[in-house]
Every structure is written in C-alpha cells, then in structure tokens.
Structure 1
Amino acid sequence: MPTVTSADGTTIAYERTGDGPPLILVDGAMCHRAAGPMRPLAALLRDAFTVHLYDRRGRGESSDTRPYAVAREVEDLQALIARAGGEAYVYGISSGAALALATAAADPGITGLALYEPPFLADAGSRTEAYTERLHELLDAGRRGDAVALFMTHVGIPEQVIAGIRSQPGWATLEAIAPTLAYDDEILTDAPHLASAITVPALILAGGASPHGLQQAAKATADALPTAEHRTLDGQTHDVAPEALAPVLTEFFSSLAQ
C-alpha cells in the first residue's frame, strides 16, 4: 500500500491504477477506498487515466492529526497531486466535491475539476445549525453510533432503514470513522465562497432523480464558477452509478487534453 505524508505529518494511504493523465478521486462522507463508490469507478476510468483514490484523513488506512482544519485536508489532497506529478484532474462527490473545490482554489496543480452534487444547500439554515450542534455533542460524549445515525437522519434516510443498518456487522466500521462527520460538516461551511476564485475548466453534475435541493445546489455551484459547465444525469440519484458517471468524466477530462 503506497502512502504519502501530508504537511502536518498525517499518513495518507492511496492506490493507483491505469495509464494516462493523472486523475484523483475524492470520496464523500462515511466512505473510503474499501467502502464506497471509488474503486468501481476507478475500474471504469483506468483505461483513459492513471487513477488515484485515497483514504481521507481519519478513514480507512490513513492516519489523523488533531486539531482538524479544512486547510489540513486541502494539504492532504495537495500531497496526492504532488505525488501524481504536480498536476492532476480531480473528481469529488458530495462533501468530497466541497474539498476538491477548496483545493482547486488553493492549488494551481488541479487542471480540471468535476464535482457531483456538492451539497451547499441554500435553504438549510437552522436545520444545519442544529445538526452541527448535536453532532458535536454526540461525538464529544463518545456516542459514535448515535452520531452516525444522526447523519443518516440528516441526509434523509428513514429511521427504520437506519435501525436495520445499525444491526449489521458493518456498523462498527461506520462508528470507527464517525469523527470525520464533523470534518465534512466543516468543509461544507468553509468552501462555498471560494468558487468565484476558481478558473480551471469545471464540470458540475447532478442526478435527475436526486432531491430538488441537491440539484439546485449543483446548479448554483456551476453558476458561481466562472468556467463551469452544468449537466444533469438522467435517472441518477446522489448514489450515482459508476456506469453512468464514468463516460461523462472520461469525455470531459479527455477533452481538456486535446
């Protein structure tokens, strides 16, 4: 397992597959290389790109260093870009899209940016504030399972479904990375105002079957980026199918190399 060391000494685990221009994939909340959408997506992209996927800090086989700051996660992604050769395309989903956005504002090495449903919900308001406060209360009390359940409720998963997931063996894996929910929450607060500073080619995607708020958020993000294109993937939800996404990413990033 290759690793790269971030600026604050955090060890970031990653894997690389394929051949072509470097492309880094950035996971959203509660996901890492062994549990999430990126390995299946990488398998569909590796014929066109050298694909890098990694465990964000505090997840999977990466370490963590406290206190957390969004700038530290930006440095993690910058370390991957440096390892890839100093320049790379970047794709991020959900909170990973927010992290990719923050990094693109800080690092000229990102030469193309694709984001799927960055969840900057304009109408979240007091609901988001209440979620943030309760999340920190639960994490500070060591109630990691309840923090995971709170997050799932926050994103719209029905209580009976959460109860079913909670009874499965995999729940312990989710509890292990529960502290990173606070990281994702902070990224979503910190990143949106950076959009206007980004001038690299960008593609902002949403699923046609996703909640209206997420579709609006994707469109608003595209409108805020000076060089962005907005597209909707018909029939897709926030849990976008790799088979629907890969051809779109391949077309977009390949066009930048021409």
Structure 2
Amino acid sequence: MPTVTSPDGTRIAYERHGDGPPLVLLHGGLTRRYWEPLVPQFAGDFTVVTPDRRGRGESDDTAPYSIEREVEDTRAVVDAVAETPVLFGHSFGGLQAIETARVASVEAVVAYEPAYLVDEYRETADLAARMQARLDAGEPAEATKLHLCEVLRDDIDDIDDIDAWLDEWPVWPAPVDHVENTIRMNRALENHPLPDSLDVDAPVLLLTGSEGPSHLRESVRAVHDALPDSRLVEFEGVGHSGPTEAPDRTVEAVRDFLATVTPARSA
C-alpha cells in the first residue's frame, strides 16, 4: 500500500483506484473502508484516493494529536497526487476537507455534514468527557455508543434505542476499536470553533440528510453561511451516514456538482 509522510513524520497509508482526475475521499470515525460502496462508482472516471486517518487502519500515529495535524496529513496526500484534486469528506472528514482547502490548492470540495460544532450545542458539548468516563470504567463499547447516539440519527435517543439499531448495523462493533481516537477527536472538535468566514477559494458542495442529528444539520447550514461559494443539498429520509445509506443519490449529487464547477474535468 502506498504511503506519504506527514510533516511530523507520521506515515499515512492510502489506496488508489481507477483512472482520471484525482478525487480524495476522507472518512470520518472509521477507516478508508467506509468508502467501499462508493469507490466503484467513481473509479471509472476518477483516480480515487482513500487515505486512512492517523491512528486508524494502516496509518501510523504520533503524539500530540490535533486537527491541524490531520490537515497536514491531508496536505501530504494532496501533494502526492499528480493534479489538483477534489476533496470529498464525511463528518470529521468533511471538516478536514474544508480546513485543508483553506491552506492548499484544491479543485473543489464536497462535505457531508462536516463536524463543526456550533451555537448552544458547542457551548454545552461534553461528549469527550462522558466517553472518557465510560472508558475509564472499563466500558469501551458503552463509550462508543455514547458517540453513536450523538451522530447517527435524531431518532436514536438513548442506549436502548441504539442497541436495537446496532443489531442491524453491519459495521458494529468495529468502531469500538477506535474509541480512544474518537475521544481525542471529539475533544479537539469541542475546542475548534467555526469561524465567521471560511476562506476557501474552491467551490463547495455541502450535503446533509433530513434524518441526521439536529446539531449537525444546524452546523452544515452555518458552514454554508460561512463559505463564499457553496451550495447545499439535503437528502430526504437519510441520516448522518448518507454516503453509505444512499450511495446512488450521493454519487449523482457529486457528479452533478462537479459537472458544473469543473466541466472540463468531470465525466
């Protein structure tokens, strides 16, 4: 598997699929394998690049952790591709894509519910502390469930609901393996305010689902207001995992957007 080296020396692993202009897919709380349902649909027309975030999958890790270092990781991947890429991120990966576009040249950005915390939710956010308490009590699975209750759907309100939901979720219990990384990610997000203006030169497509958590649906609209050039698309009946819940609709929206903003390069 190819790798790049981030400025702090961390080795970031990634896969490449297909042929064409580069499309870098940035995952959220899992690994690069999150994108497997979408890769075949893009690989016919793009060189699809799927990195593992630091400390996840095949990538290495280096302390201390920060969002800035995650952005440096993405910049290292961007520098490794032959052309200026499109960045498509989900959740934390959406924030990562936008923050990277503030400091690096990209063709366009797509972000599904980027994980900025805004308004009252951010002021009272204590998810990292609550997860840490469960982990300290020797309950990594319960700590992970606290995170999932916050990010999956508005109709999952408590642990009883999520246990029933997880029985049908093929990914479970893989997220438990990343619980410590998820806690540090949440702690960093709680201390990462959304600026009044996001200085991104590239066009941005923001995606959201009508069934996602209300705080992320509010966040994506705040991000929309903070960007100089963005459009917002909402998928009816879809939650926070929109790219994998509705891959066909996601691919169609991304293709339509890129055909408009990069007509010479899109299929």
Compute the displacement of 1:75 (Å).
Answer: 1.0
Q: What is aligned with 1:251? A: 256
Please give the residue correspondences for 1:7-156 in structure 2 after superposition, counting only pairs within 5 Å. 7-29=7-29, 31-34=30-33, 36=34, 38-85=35-82, 87-107=84-104, 109-119=105-115, 120-125=117-122, 127-128=124-125, 130-139=126-135, 143-155=139-151
Please give the residue correspondences for 1:167-182 in structure 2 after superposition, counting only pairs within 5 Å. 173-182=174-183
Compute the displacement of 1:27 (Å).
Answer: 0.8
Please give the residue correspondences for 1:155-170 in structure 2 after superposition, counting only pairs within 5 Å. 155=151, 157=156, 158-163=158-163, 165=166
Deviations 1:147-180 (A, max 9, x none): 21221233364413544649x9976632321122
**How far apart, in 2, do the equivalents of 1:110 and 1:76 lie?**
15
CA contact (8 A) 1:101 1:194 kept: no
Paired amino acid for 2:92: S
**How far apart, in 2, do the equivalents of 1:150 and 1:94 lie?**
16
Tell me the C-alpha RMSD between the 2 structures.
2.6
When the two structures are superposed, what TM-score results if normalisation uses the length of structure 1? 0.86
Paired amino acid for 1:236: V
> Judging changes above 3 Å, is the alpha-carbon distance between structure 1 residues 188 and 115 closer, same or farther for their aligned structure 2 residues?
farther
Compute the displacement of 1:187 (Å).
Answer: 3.7
**How far apart, in 2, do the equivalents of 1:11 and 1:160 lie?**
39
> Judging changes above 3 Å, is the alpha-carbon distance between structure 1 residues 208 and 174 closer, same or farther for their aligned structure 2 residues?
closer
Unaligned runs of 5+ in 1: none
**How far apart, in 2, do the equivalents of 1:136 and 1:104 lie?**
32
Structure 1 position 239 matched with structure 2 position 241: yes
**How far apart, in 2, do the equivalents of 1:191 and 1:88 lie?**
26
CA contact (8 A) 2:146 2:159 kept: no
Unaligned runs of 5+ in 2: none
Structure 1 segments of 4+ aligned residues over 6 angstroms from their partners: none
**How far apart, in 1, do the equivalents of 2:52 and 2:228 lie?**
30
Q: What is aligned with 1:192? A: 194
**How far apart, in 2, do the equivalents of 1:66 and 1:142 lie?**
23
> Judging changes above 3 Å, is the alpha-carbon distance between structure 1 residues 232 and 51 closer, same or farther for their aligned structure 2 residues?
same
User: What count of residue pairs does the alignment treat as equivalent?
Assistant: 252
**How far apart, in 1, do the equivalents of 2:69 and 2:22 lie?**
22
Deviations 1:127-157 (A, max 9, x none): 41x2232234455676533321221233364
Compute the displacement of 1:210 (Å).
Answer: 3.0
Give identity over the alignment, percent. 33
CA contact (8 A) 2:26 2:32 kept: no
CA contact (8 A) 2:12 2:53 kept: yes
CA contact (8 A) 1:11 1:63 kept: yes
Paired amino acid for 1:184: M
> Judging changes above 3 Å, is the alpha-carbon distance between structure 1 residues 111 and 189 closer, same or farther for their aligned structure 2 residues?
farther
